[in-house]
């Protein structure tokens, strides 16, 4: 029996890469039956790697047009709710992209879902936004569980904390005791021969080295908004809209597109077919493949076994705070 899934706000396909890795290990058959992303450059790189072009603006796609599926994936953008915490169900989410996830879940009722967002979503608006998201998912009929996870714990040399939200229709609370991996050394993701185009100007290099001396080699130097500089044997979180010199390898050069994709867990077989500036944006928006893979290793057996039990009813809906 084949597991079908959809990939919303798919970006460069981190969920899909993770899914492909896990189904091979577990010898499960799976198929992506629908994907969506509004960015044309994302649609291009996704097509070049997976062979199908994502549909565009999800807000303009009727939920009945989307094929039936077993799992919904969505690394959705975080937008403040226009109305919050007033007990209005779906009306609390209209105008936000979470509403599009909710309307699809309410009609298509997949067996489970995995959502991903920045960790700040949990505390946004004093926690009211996140509480409303969980309540709505419960109202649709899902047992919901969430946890903030760091990519550093799953083998990637990048400090990237994200909240993952999991829901199932079978009222089973997800076990968050995931298999962790030691962090890969930063040297394993750095390229040996890098074009001069990636090096910061001599002025920037000298200015940073006058401020800071690193205890690690190699290291990635991080400059925050206040101009303070720190360095670690791993990268701080990649960001789509950060300044060009936000992260510098050994205080000297910017990361290459391949290095950024490696930091997110993408294999070197993944084709980077967009400009460097687009690649930097796409890597900064992506979710870490290794983290998604660790979740899927436990999540897929739940869905796969559920497909054989023909669960149609939901009872004892709960929220688990991890």
Which DSSP string do the residues of 244-301 spell out, in sequence order?
TTSEEETTTBPPPHHHHHHHTT--TTS---S-HHHHHHHHHHPPPHHHHHHHHHHHHH
pLDDT at 311 over 50: no
**Percent of the chain residues past pLDDT 70, beyond the cut:** 90
pLDDT at 222 over 60: yes
pLDDT at 318 over 50: no
Least confident interval from 65-69, 173-177, 230-234, 309-313: 309-313
Least confident interval from 120-124, 182-186, 270-274, 277-281: 120-124
Residues 285, 253 contacting (CB under 8 angstroms): no
Which pLDDT value is given to residue 86?
56
Q: Which of 257, 231, 234, 254 has its CA nearest to residue 244?
A: 254
Q: Averaged over 93-119, what is the pLDDT?
A: 90
Decide the pairing of beta strands 220-223 and 247-249: antiparallel
Q: Averaged over 180-190, what is the pLDDT?
A: 97
Q: Grade residue 91 by pLDDT with cuts at 50, 70 and 90.
A: low
Q: Grade residue 166 by pLDDT with cuts at 50, 70 and 90.
A: very high
Q: Grade residue 313 by pLDDT with cuts at 50, 70 and 90.
A: very low
* Fold exhibited by the domain 2-180+286-320: Rossmann fold (3.40.50)
pLDDT at 285 over 80: yes
Q: Grade residue 87 by pLDDT with cuts at 50, 70 and 90.
A: low
Spatial neighbors of 210 by CB under 8 A, at least 6 apart, are: none
Spatial neighbors of 184 by CB under 8 A, at least 6 apart, are: 155, 156, 157
Catalytic residues: 78
**Cα 194 to Cα 180: distance, rounded to the nearest angstrom:** 31
Which pLDDT value is given to residue 96?
82
Least confident interval from 114-123, 229-238, 249-258: 114-123
Least confident interval from 226-230, 246-250, 253-257: 226-230
Spatial neighbors of 168 by CB under 8 A, at least 6 apart, are: 111, 112, 142, 143, 174, 302, 303, 306
Which pLDDT value is given to residue 316?
37
**Cα 91 to Cα 63: distance, rounded to the nearest angstrom:** 17
Q: Grade residue 5 by pLDDT with cuts at 50, 70 and 90.
A: very high
pLDDT at 85 over 60: no
Domain ranges of the chain: 2-180+286-320, 192-255
* Higher pLDDT, residue 267 or 88: 267
Q: Averaged over 254-280, what is the pLDDT?
A: 97
| Mean pLDDT, the chain, integer | 90
Decide the pairing of beta strands 161-168 and 112-118: antiparallel
Q: Averaged over 161-181, what is the pLDDT?
A: 93
pLDDT at 81 over 60: no
Residues 145, 319 contacting (CB under 8 angstroms): yes
Decide the pairing of beta strands 247-249 and 319-320: unpaired
pTM of the model: 0.91
pLDDT at 225 over 90: no
Core vs surface per residue 91-120: b (16+ CB within 10 A) or e: ebbeebbbbbbbbbbbebbbbbbbbbbbee
**Cα 83 to Cα 165: distance, rounded to the nearest angstrom:** 22
pLDDT at 165 over 70: yes
Core vs surface per residue 282-301: b (16+ CB within 10 A) or e: bbbbbbbbbbbbbbbbbbbe
Residues 222, 246 contacting (CB under 8 angstroms): yes
Q: Grade residue 100 by pLDDT with cuts at 50, 70 and 90.
A: very high
Which pLDDT value is given to residue 78?
64
């Amino acid at each position: 029996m084949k597991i079908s899934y959809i990939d919303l706000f798919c970006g460069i396909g981190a969920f899909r890469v993770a899914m492909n890795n896990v189904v091979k290990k577990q010898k499960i058959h799976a198929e992506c039956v629908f994907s969506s992303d509004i960015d044309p450059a994302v649609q291009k790189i996704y097509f070049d790697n997976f062979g199908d072009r994502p549909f565009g603006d999800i807000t303009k796609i009727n939920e009945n047009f989307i094929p039936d599926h077993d799992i919904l994936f969505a690394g959705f953008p975080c937008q403040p709710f226009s109305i919050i915490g007033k007990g209005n169900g779906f009306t609390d989410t209209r105008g936000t992209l979470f509403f599009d996830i909710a309307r699809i879940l309410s009609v298509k009722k997949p067996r489970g879902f995995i959502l991903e967002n920045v960790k700040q979503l949990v505390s946004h608006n004093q926690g009211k936004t996140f509480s409303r998201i969980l309540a709505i998912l419960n109202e649709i009929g899902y047992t919901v569980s969430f946890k903030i996870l760091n990519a550093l714990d799953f083998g990637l040399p990048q400090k990237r904390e994200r909240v993952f939200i999991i829901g199932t229709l079978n009222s089973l609370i997800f076990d968050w005791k995931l298999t962790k991996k030691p962090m890969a050394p930063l040297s394993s993701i750095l390229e040996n021969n890098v074009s001069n185009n990636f090096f910061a100007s001599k002025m920037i290099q000298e200015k940073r080295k006058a401020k800071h001396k690193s205890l690690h080699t190699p290291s990635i130097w991080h400059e925050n908004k206040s101009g303070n500089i720190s360095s670690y044997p791993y990268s701080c979180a990649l960001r789509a809209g950060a300044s060009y010199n936000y992260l510098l390898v050994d205080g000297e050069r910017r990361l290459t597109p391949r290095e950024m994709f490696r930091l997110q867990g993408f294999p070197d077989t993944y084709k980077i077919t967009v400009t460097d500036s687009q690649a930097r944006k796409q890597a900064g928006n992506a979710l870490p493949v290794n983290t998604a893979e660790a979740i899927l290793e436990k999540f897929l057996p739940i869905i796969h076994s559920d497909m054989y039990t023909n669960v149609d009813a939901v009872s004892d809906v709960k929220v688990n705070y991890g």
